[in-house]
Structure 1
Amino acid sequence: MFRFATLRLFVLCLLAPGAFAQTVAITFDDGPSLAATPRLTPPERNAALLAALARHKASAALFVTAANGATRPEGLALARAWGEAGHALGNHTMTHPDLHAKDVSLGAYQQQILDCERIVGPLPGYRKWFRFTYLREGNTPEKRDGMRDFLRTQGYRNAYVSLDTSDWRLNDKLVEVLEKDPAADVAPIKAAYLAHIRQRALAYRALSQQLQGRDIAQVLLLHPQVLLLHHNLINALWLDDVLAQFRSMGWTIVTPEAAFADPVYRLQPERAAPGQSLLLSMARTLGLGKFEGWERLVDDGDYEIAALKQQGL
């Protein structure tokens, strides 16, 4: 199920003490985006995200999809602002292709990483961290093993996510509503979004305890949990509330570096098609099956969207 070296790490994780507060690291994918949205321009969205992090004295990581904006001077300046503010920058490919797609070859996908690095690598704060697009790590042995070899030889770490969210789905709903009516009351979407983040956080914490016998640092798109969010309108508007909610839950926000130092993030689950949240991948590798609450972790926000429809949105 795990290779020998990673199996030994897995045992070490199980033996690690769990008597500490849950921690979470904040990461963002797909930025910086120059796409137009209601209410905020691209620079305003970027500034709002950075301001919220600054208010909470939180150090985060932005995984750059270069063609979303960083290939243009104005977009590259937005990415540079993250590094200059003390945040980390990582690699999320040039154009966000799907490694599992039949028309995306292993070589083409690897070239996307190298091309992105040429653009973002010179910026302050750049780390040799790579996050797989769609959190898909290869659906054939050639792609899976080829990517593991490539990342190792290029000096990249797999920037796993443990606390995956469907913020993008609720962002789509937010933009849809505001494009129809710029003055619309979006308080129900905000409430649904914060409830969604809370539900995912608690569910992944419970799963980490089930799998590891302890809290992990969660990386939010876990042991410290690593949280995945996106560089989009919903977070530009309400990231401050997300961070405040974590603090009200008693969670401590840590740096991505601190989270990735947890040995759980060096595991390599041995699955035919690894990916998604590291915790979900571990659960499937270990044969956990359809554990209690798994449906809400893989529904892409269907529960929240259905609830909003019942409210007329």
Structure 2
Amino acid sequence: MKPRRIAAALGLTVSAWLPAAQAQSVAFTFDDGPRLAETPLLSPAQRNQALLDALSAQQVQAALFVTCGNGADRPQGYALAQAWGRAGHVIGNHTMTHLDLNSAKVTLAQYQQEVADCDRITSTLAGYRKWFRYTYLREGNTLEKRDGMRDYLRQSGYRDAYVSLDTSDWRLDEKLVDVLRANAQADLTPIRLAYLSHLRQRAEAYRDLSRQLEGRDIPQIMLLHHNLINALWLKDAIQQFKDMGWTIVTPEQAFADAVYQQSPEKLVAGQSLLLSIARSRGLGKFPGWERLVDDGDFEIEALKARGL
């Protein structure tokens, strides 16, 4: 029996029987920036520049999804966001104040207004694209919200800037800041190693999930954040992916893949697009799913065991 007929008989996509269309690749994207909140070690401007320097050193073009209320609505923060666009990175929209559309207290109209208000700022920045990323990667707690936002984005000409490779870098960043506030001279080596290990674990797990769902390696869209941990070690993280044999692509190149045209129908979607697709297809709790939804608990517990 020919592969196409076998695939059909087993309910599989034909792509599951074909060689991978391309080598594994990843695009880097960052949410919530630029932040004007103070952190140990680096000022807001220093954090911003460290991120840009790491991307430049590794010749990576990324995307920054701006939460305007974190700083871009003020001159100092606006200048930091402008620096991303002028450096050749894409600027996208991540609402004004990072509301949660899954909250019963947040209305569809309120959320749409947040997108429009942020757009008035981001649209004036170099690198601006009509790309929108949902806060918390959540499309709403009702069908009215989900479908209303999908219609709004379509009518407004926005791309839904999906994430396939979700990370909990924010959780490790919280630990990093807490440790430094308690002891400015603390040895940060265990946190750096935990951060790099976490990114590798998530990358390999989502690569495996893409092969299971799509029968191939997709260009992954990775979610990181505009925070201290990435300001310190982003260059190392990018190098780790290169050492793993992954190719770094631009977000535009990654989004061109057909997988990002899917709109999972299950209302309670996963954080990653791949998790959403898996749940929409009824995959359920597959081996290793716990490590994709634990918000970095594994790494945090390991750090606690070391006294951090």
**Interval containing the TM-score (normalised by the shorter chain):** over 0.9
1:138 Cα deviation from its structure 2 partner: 1.4
Kindly tell me: are residues 16 and 98 of structure 1, through their superposed partners in 2, closer, same or farther at Cα, counting changes over 3 Å? farther
Q: Which residue of 1 aligns with 2:111?
A: 109
User: SS of 2:166's equivalent?
Assistant: coil
Q: Which residue of 2 aligns with 1:21?
A: 23
1:272 Cα deviation from its structure 2 partner: 1.8
8 Å contact 1:216–1:262 — kept in the other structure? yes
8 Å contact 1:62–1:87 — kept in the other structure? yes
Q: Which residue of 2 aligns with 1:287?
A: 282
Q: Which residue of 2 aligns with 1:271?
A: 266
1:128 matched to 2:123? no
1:19 Cα deviation from its structure 2 partner: 4.6
User: SS of 1:79's equivalent?
Assistant: helix
**Which protein is bigger by CA-based radius of gyration?**
2
Q: Which residue of 2 aligns with 1:34?
A: 36
Tell me which amino acid in the other structure corresponds to 1:248: D
For residues 100 and 18 of structure 2, what CA distance do their matches in structure 1 show?
36
1:145 Cα deviation from its structure 2 partner: 0.4
Q: Which residue of 1 aligns with 2:159?
A: 157
1:257 matched to 2:259? no
Tell me which amino acid in the other structure corresponds to 1:23: S
For residues 302 and 273 of structure 1, what CA distance do their matches in structure 2 show?
22
For residues 155 and 233 of structure 2, what CA distance do their matches in structure 1 show?
39
Give runs of aligned pairs for residues 202-217 of structure 1, distance below 5 A. 202-217=204-219
Please, which of 139, 142, 145 is the counterpart of residue 143 of structure 1? 145
**TM-score (normalizing by structure 1):** 0.93
8 Å contact 1:93–1:113 — kept in the other structure? yes
Q: Which residue of 2 aligns with 1:87?
A: 89
Q: Which residue of 1 aligns with 2:3?
A: none
Kindly tell me: are residues 28 and 16 of structure 1, through their superposed partners in 2, closer, same or farther at Cα, counting changes over 3 Å? farther
1:21 Cα deviation from its structure 2 partner: 1.5
1:307 matched to 2:302? yes
Tell me which amino acid in the other structure corresponds to 1:131: R
Moved over 3 A (4+): 10-17
Show CA shifts across 1:164-222 (max 9, x none). Answer: 00000000000000001111001000000100000000000000000000000000xxx
Superposition CA RMSD, Å: 1.3
8 Å contact 1:140–1:273 — kept in the other structure? no
Structure 1, gaps ≥5 residues long: 1-9, 220-226
1:273 Cα deviation from its structure 2 partner: 2.6
Please, which of 288, 292, 297 is the counterpart of residue 297 of structure 1? 292
For residues 12 and 267 of structure 1, what CA distance do their matches in structure 2 show?
17
Q: Which residue of 1 aligns with 2:5?
A: none
Show CA shifts across 1:133-161 (max 9, x none). Answer: 00001121100100110000000011000
Please, which of 73, 76, 80 is the counterpart of residue 74 of structure 1? 76
Identical pairs, percent: 66
For residues 282 and 20 of structure 2, what CA distance do their matches in structure 1 show?
24
User: SS of 2:271's equivalent?
Assistant: coil
Show CA shifts across 1:230-271 (max 9, x none). Answer: 000000000000000000000000000000000100100111
Structure 2, gaps ≥5 residues long: 1-11
1:13 Cα deviation from its structure 2 partner: 6.2
Tell me which amino acid in the other structure corresponds to 2:257: D
For residues 149 and 233 of structure 1, what CA distance do their matches in structure 2 show?
36
For residues 174 and 15 of structure 2, what CA distance do their matches in structure 1 show?
37
Tell me which amino acid in the other structure corresponds to 1:104: V
Kindly tell me: are residues 285 and 186 of structure 1, through their superposed partners in 2, closer, same or farther at Cα, counting changes over 3 Å? same
1:11 Cα deviation from its structure 2 partner: 5.5
8 Å contact 1:62–1:88 — kept in the other structure? yes
Please, which of 41, 59, 62 is the counterpart of residue 57 of structure 1? 59
1:274 Cα deviation from its structure 2 partner: 3.0
**Higher relative contact order, chain-length normalized (CA < 8 Å, sep 6+):** 1
User: SS of 2:140's equivalent?
Assistant: coil
For residues 43 and 18 of structure 2, what CA distance do their matches in structure 1 show?
46
Q: Which residue of 2 aligns with 1:224?
A: none
Kindly tell me: are residues 43 and 16 of structure 1, through their superposed partners in 2, closer, same or farther at Cα, counting changes over 3 Å? farther
For residues 49 and 70 of structure 2, what CA distance do their matches in structure 1 show?
17
